Amino acid sequence: MVNKLTPEHLKECRKIIREGSKSFYFASLLLPSEVRLSATALYAFCRVSDDIADAPGSDLDAVNRLKDRLDCAYEGKPYDHAADHAFAEVVRQYEIPKLVPLSMIEGFEWDVTHKKYHTLSDVIDYSARVAGTVGIMMSMLMGRRERATLARACDLGLAMQLINISRDVGEDALNGRVYLPSDWLEEAGTSREALLENPVFTPELGSVVERLLDKADEIYKRALTGVADLPASCRPGIRAAALVYNEIGTKVRANGFNSIDSRAYTSTGRKLSLMLQVPGRPFDIISCDQSEPAPEVAYLVDAAQKDHDLPSGDGEWIVDLFARMHAQDEQYMENAKAMRSR
């Protein structure tokens, strides 16, 4: 648990998430308190970093400042911002390898330099950085560093990011960015340049969006098996997040894959409805897919696995955390049985 932060820091982090990452904010309400606090601190830093990279006129100088903020956080001398203070405590307590958040910032660097993505592998490479990294860190917060579990956590991040890309085609093009694979666009009879020059919906463009959503669905199904390896008390929150993001993909499909003229979103009411379904919904996946991580995320999994032992020097907090989570697991299982028997 993040036990060395002031209430003011945590309050500000919750505000950042509530305003900037509504899907995560709602899903996090189903996480056990220890994980929720740490995850909120983690997401606040990621959200602030993403906003800086996406700000109008953002350039490599902005990215370099983010790298400096990251360096300071890992040195225990964070910038005077609630998200930085919170993040510094989280990476210290959970021993998150610096390579992981640094890779996230590398993804932001690709944003500001308008990197071109020629193949699906290139797109997944990008998604690994801006979303797979978050999956890796969330898995660590829940005390899971097994290879398959980490791989499936990355998969969930990849699936979510591919859905985001499918939803934001028009908005991204207006900002000079195209994340759809160039070779897919060319196979469909269009091009990256055509999309940037005249971002209008065409059946050809829709076919590429559909193809990317199909890939997201494939990865999502594999990712969801990883939930079986998480502490029982953490499963509802992660399942809720997965359901909410998958709903966005469903909306894009319902719009005829037209992500130019409208932007698919999940209403607050629908998010709450999905969340309320989770605790009482049977989960029929009983084991985690043991396949190796996607080649594009393997280096992240390797980094997270490298130090698999408990943190040195200050291990009492994690022993206490696991004891609390075990107690919450037992309570959660009892509550779930009671709900299913009604």
CA nearest neighbour of 293 among 150, 196, 169: 150
Reply yes or no on whether the pLDDT at 325 is more than 50.
Answer: no
Please tell me the least confidently modeled range out of 49-63, 88-102, 118-132: 49-63
Tell me if the domain spanning 97-340 has CATH number 1.10.600.10. Answer: yes
Beta carbons of 166 and 152 less than 8 angstroms apart: no
Reply yes or no on whether the pLDDT at 116 is more than 80.
Answer: yes
- Comparing 281 with 99, the larger pLDDT belongs to 99
Per-residue pLDDT band at 2 (split at 50, 70, 90): very low
Domain spans in the chain, listed from the N-terminal domain onward: 97-340
Number of residues that make up the chain: 342
Q: Which two tokens stand for residue 48?
A: 């602030």
Concatenating the DSSP letter of every residue in 186-241 gives: HHTT--HHHHHH-----HHHHHHHHHHHHHHHHHHHHHHGGGGGS-TTTHHHHHHH
Measured between alpha carbons, how far is residue 64 from residues 6, 97, 105, 134, 335 in Å?
Answer: 28, 19, 9, 20, 48
Measured between alpha carbons, how far is residue 245 from residues 4, 106, 258, 270, 322 in Å?
Answer: 32, 24, 17, 11, 28
pLDDT value at position 259? 96
Per-residue pLDDT reduced to its tens digit, 207-224:
999 999 999 999 999 999
55: DSSP letter: S
Indicate the pTM of the whole model.
0.86
Reply yes or no on whether the pLDDT at 320 is more than 80.
Answer: no
